[in-house]
Amino acid sequence: MTYFVDGNQIQLLRSGTEYFPALLAAIESSTREIYLQSYIYKDDVTGIQIGEALKNAARRGVSVNILLDGFGSKDLPKSYVEALEKTGVQVMFYRPKISPWSLKKKRLRRLHQKIAVIDGHIGFVGGINIIDDYDLPNNAPNNVPPRVDYAVRIEGKLLPIILASLQKLWRRIAWIHIRRPNLVITKTVNLVNSSNPQQYNIKAALVLRDNVLHRSDIEDAYLDAIDHAKSEIIIANAYFVPGRRFRLALLAAVKRGVKVRLLLQGRMEYFLMFATHAFYSEFLRSGIEIFEYRKSFMHSKVAVIDNTWATVGSSNIDPFSLLLAREANVVVKDAAFAQELRTDIQASIEDGAIRIDPQHWTRGNIFKRFASWIAYGLVRAFLGVIGHSNEK
């Protein structure tokens, strides 16, 4: 059951263009503590700019704590990490042993969430890594626009919950690394600006996914909203390989008369992304509309249902996010926020997406349909070998 908290101010941030200036402003104004979790951290222009702000904060006496994924950030130079630590920034890596040539269960259990909390007062949750928007795959044409992604800036009563989750994971990883946590005890009361109480009127929830207590929380939040949908479901997701429960929920919604639209990644970065096409025929026959975003690379992990329920976060709708990785989404119940996000998704559909025609897909695309089932079979086989465990 999703636990919603009243009294929040939530701002939608579109891609790094809006996210990084907001994050920098919060870091530069920090006085006590900073927590930052990211799957990818690159020492590019954006990463260096964020890093300089973090180092300056540490020099001011702010407790700066960075937790990065050992695989996603494996290319971050050791010299760069040492430069951060020299100023007092604490840096730790989640599962630094990657074991790329083994089939160990831990291999794909990554820290995929992207969260930051500054002074227990300002928080950020979303799908944006610390990496330039223009850092695209090597095979991308030179004129491709920056990638599309989302995050939210949060103030209000949800912050203590977000901060507690960050501190809990930081303590556990510090214990594994045999390091002293060096946590600052931040009071997270009276976070609402009493002079503008009308701005803190949004109901929201932090929904996490891990491998112990919250194994299916994000998927369950989606399914609950889909099952109660009355008019429209619009999902924009980069890596979309839904499981059986998710597929059946969408098909049942269509039968109830709900309009379902999917905005999916149209540029293939990896062969296994062809697994997304495995469900096109069934979805299209049922009346689900599918759009492929091809203007640039879309890494969105968002959805809007009935113009009242919305989610922004790090979780894709695929086995890796829903069964293996640590993920974090914010679910918002607010008509104005939902409408703003829906408008932005609709703009992406109109400006950079191609609608998949049901008849054309059925009659043509033989190679894509064949490749999709090979890719889907590989995903299922690989997950079968990896298996499930209770490892944290």
Instruction: Find, among 348, 341, 287, the residue nearest to 309 by Cα.
Output: 341
299 is catalytic: yes
Of 132, 220, 224, 306, the active-site residue reads 306
Clarify whether 306 is annotated catalytic: yes
Closest CA to 260 of 233, 223, 291, 293: 233
Asked if residues 216 and 242 have their Cβ atoms less than 8 Å apart, the reply is no
- 301 annotated active-site: yes
Check 121, 135, 301, 334 and give the catalytic one: 301
Separation of first and last alpha carbons in the chain? 21
CA dihedral 342, 345, 349, 355 (to 10 degrees): -80
3-class secondary-structure state, position 256:
coil
| Four-point Cα dihedral 148, 154, 159, 163, nearest 10 | 30
Q: Who's near 383: CB < 8 A, 6+ residues apart?
A: 319, 323
Selecting among 42, 55, 69, 112, the annotated active-site residue is 112
Q: Is 114 a catalytic residue?
A: yes
Q: Identify whether the C-beta of residue 233 lies closer than 8 Å to the C-beta of residue 226.
A: yes
User: What are the two backbone dihedrals, phi and then psi, of residue 155, each rounded to the nearest 5 degrees?
Assistant: -130, 150
d(CA 33, CA 64): 6
d(CA 330, CA 207): 6
DSSP-assigned beta bridge partners for residue 304:
234, 310
Cα–Cα distance measured from residue 313 to residue 95, given in angstroms and rounded to the nearest whole number? 21
CA distance 177 to 216: 28
- Of 133, 299, 318, 334, which one is the catalytic site residue? 299
Q: Which of 114, 121, 157, 277 is catalytic?
A: 114
Write down the catalytic residue from 69, 119, 133, 217: 119
List the catalytic residues.
Answer: 112, 114, 119, 299, 301, 306
